[in-house]
Amino acid sequence: MSLQSIKYVPGKLDILDQLLLPVQSKYVAVKGVEDGWKAINKMQVRGAPAIAIVGCLSLAVELLPEDFDSKKSLRQEIEGKLNYLVSARPTAVNMKIAADELIALANELTKDEAVNVLEMKQRFLHATEAMLQKDIADNKAIGKNGAEAILNTCAKDTAIRVLTHCNTGSLATAGYGTALGVVRKLHELKKLEHVYCTETRPYNQGARLTAYELVHDKLPATLVLDSMVAALMRAKNIAAVVVGADRVAANGDTANKIGTYQIAVVAKHHGVPFFVAAPLTSIDLQIPSGDHIIIEERPDREMTHVGEHRIAAPGINCWNPAFDVTPAALISGIITERGVFSPQKLKAEISALVEQ
Ligand SMILES: CSC[C@@H](O)[C@@H](O)C(=O)COP(=O)(O)O
């Protein structure tokens, strides 16, 4: 079974259908933007970084065979299609940030008189293709920074037991993973005694995807239900929690998979450090706090059914927000490829980095 969620060569994009995992490992072709939008919306691909990469590469696949009579028409096509892709899922910011950067590039190339329409298309395609390699490099740096941060909170030679939520691994990214990259790095350093992963109802990213990755990579791991987190912290001496992010606001408030907030509350009660691991492309300095994050609500069916089998009483009302916002005050550190930031200093320190 494969752990590569995205396969791309110029003109051809295939994604591992995450709706079928772990029972079936099947790749589906994404032939253009419409396929990309549907794959993201239906969650055949999911996880904030993977959503952005698949969205942008779906546009690359569509543009490759097309001819444009002017840079203006190419620019219009790029802008319209990217904005459409942003609308597939609202909470994760990575697709929006990627779209803004690529639209800015298209604007720049349109104005540059030394660049013709063919060159403009080539330069645009290269920019989208570069996202795959950059994401893996960023994740490796996140893994290293996060492992160091967790080791720094523990006495020397302590056996590290960590808890993670949702799926943030190879399947949610171009490879290696963010929070799961931190866990992988601890294991590579021979410092990981055990990782616990939550089931992550209702879509079961933990039980289906994270558990699949952990078994595949032979990490010492145990699955727990979402309702077991407090008991787990009391019984198993958890050294740290590490989770991913869909959007981090300027004040450090973090939207992530539903259930993250209650894990952070429980971690605070037990004095367990709670880390968020995310690339800079998940950080939205444009919004002051988590109150401005749109939380996606998903169909009732994800709660009432497991596969084709109904588990909830027919007729019951459901509320199914896919994400929640963990207040910055509950977060010990935000681990990025450029270092670990305290939520309170995030905006100032990241702005200074970006200006460098
Ligand atoms: C590296 S993935 C980070 C987050 O996107 C992840 O924790 C998460 O919440 C994914 O939600 P999903 O609804 O599966 O796309």
- For residue 155, the model assigns a pLDDT of 81
The residue whose CA is least distant from atom 9 of ligand 1 is: 257
Q: Does the pLDDT at position 316 exceed 80? A: yes
CATH class of 141-355: alpha beta
Average pLDDT over residues 7-22: 97
Candidates 205, 263, 296: which one to mutate for ligand 1, based on the most atoms within 8 Å of Cβ?
205
Q: What are the boundaries of each domain within the chain?
A: 6-135, 141-355
User: How confident is residue 355, by pLDDT bands cut at 50, 70 and 90?
Assistant: confident
pLDDT, tens digit, for every residue of 243-256? 999 999 999 999 99
Q: Does the pLDDT at position 3 exceed 90? A: no
Average pLDDT over residues 173-183: 97
For the chain, percent of residues with pLDDT exceeding 70: 99
Average pLDDT over residues 11-26: 96
Is the Cβ atom of 178 under 6 angstroms away from ligand 1?
Answer: yes
Average pLDDT over residues 299-320: 96
Average pLDDT over residues 162-186: 98
Of 246, 253, 284, 324, which one is the catalytic site residue? 246
- For residue 122, the model assigns a pLDDT of 98
Q: Position 60: which residue type?
A: A
Is the Cβ atom of 281 under 6 angstroms away from ligand 1?
Answer: no
User: How confident is residue 157, by pLDDT bands cut at 50, 70 and 90?
Assistant: confident
What single-letter DSSP state applies at residue 95? H
Average pLDDT over residues 173-200: 97
Helix (H, G, I), strand (E, B) or coil at 352: helix
Rounded to the nearest angstrom, the distance between the alpha carbon of 92 and the centre of ligand 1 is: 8
- Pairing of β 309-310 and β 323-326: unpaired
**2-11, 38-47, 51-60, 254-263: least confidently modelled range:** 2-11
Whole-number CA gyration radius for the chain: 20
Is the Cβ atom of 200 under 6 angstroms away from ligand 1?
Answer: no
- The answer to whether the CB of 174 falls within 8 A of the CB of 136 is yes
pLDDT, tens digit, for every residue of 263-281? 999 999 999 999 999 999 9
pLDDT, tens digit, for every residue of 189-231? 999 999 999 999 999 999 999 999 999 999 999 999 999 999 9
Rounded to the nearest angstrom, the distance between the alpha carbon of 171 and the centre of ligand 1 is: 10
- For residue 2, the model assigns a pLDDT of 60
Is the Cβ atom of 337 under 6 angstroms away from ligand 1?
Answer: no
Rounded to the nearest angstrom, the distance between the alpha carbon of 80 and the centre of ligand 1 is: 25
- Pairing of β 6-9 and β 12-16: antiparallel
Is the Cβ atom of 48 under 6 angstroms away from ligand 1?
Answer: yes
How far apart (Å, rounded) are the C-alpha atoms in residues 182 and 185? 5
Ligand 1, atom nearest to 278 Cα: 1
Rounded to the nearest angstrom, the distance between the alpha carbon of 322 and the centre of ligand 1 is: 9
pLDDT, tens digit, for every residue of 111-144? 999 999 999 999 999 999 999 999 999 999 999 9
Ligand 1, atom nearest to 180 Cα: 1
In order, the DSSP letters of 47-59 are SHHHHHHHHHHHH
CA distances in angstroms from 345 to 46, 62, 247, 320, 339, listed in the order given = 29, 41, 17, 33, 12
CA distances in angstroms from 129 to 6, 28, 49, 141, 346, listed in the order given = 12, 19, 14, 20, 29
Candidates 3, 41, 46, 51: which one to mutate for ligand 1, based on the most atoms within 8 Å of Cβ?
46
Is residue 246 part of the annotated active site? The answer reads yes
Q: Does the pLDDT at position 1 exceed 70? A: no
Candidates 168, 198, 275: which one to mutate for ligand 1, based on the most atoms within 8 Å of Cβ?
168
How far apart (Å, rounded) are the C-alpha atoms in residues 180 and 200? 15
How far apart (Å, rounded) are the C-alpha atoms in residues 304 and 210? 22
The H helix count followed by the E strand count for the chain is: 11, 16
Average pLDDT over residues 225-246: 98
How far apart (Å, rounded) are the C-alpha atoms in residues 47 and 326? 18
Averaged confidence pLDDT in the chain: 97
Is the Cβ atom of 205 under 6 angstroms away from ligand 1?
Answer: yes
CATH topology of domain 6-135: Four Helix Bundle (Hemerythrin (Met), subunit A) (1.20.120)
Rounded to the nearest angstrom, the distance between the alpha carbon of 231 and the centre of ligand 1 is: 24
- The answer to whether the CB of 211 falls within 8 A of the CB of 133 is no
**How much is the ipTM here?**
0.98
Residue 308: count other Cβ atoms within 10 Å of its Cβ. 5
How far apart (Å, rounded) are the C-alpha atoms in residues 15 and 154? 39
Ligand 1, atom nearest to 165 Cα: 7
Rounded to the nearest angstrom, the distance between the alpha carbon of 165 and the centre of ligand 1 is: 9
How far apart (Å, rounded) are the C-alpha atoms in residues 113 and 310? 60
- For residue 184, the model assigns a pLDDT of 97
H helix intervals, the chain: 33-41, 48-63, 71-86, 94-111, 117-153, 179-188, 211-216, 229-236, 260-270, 301-304, 346-355
pTM higher than 0.95? yes
Question: Please, is 191 exposed, middle or buried when counting C-beta atoms within 10 Å of its C-beta (0-12, 13-18, 19+)?
Answer: middle
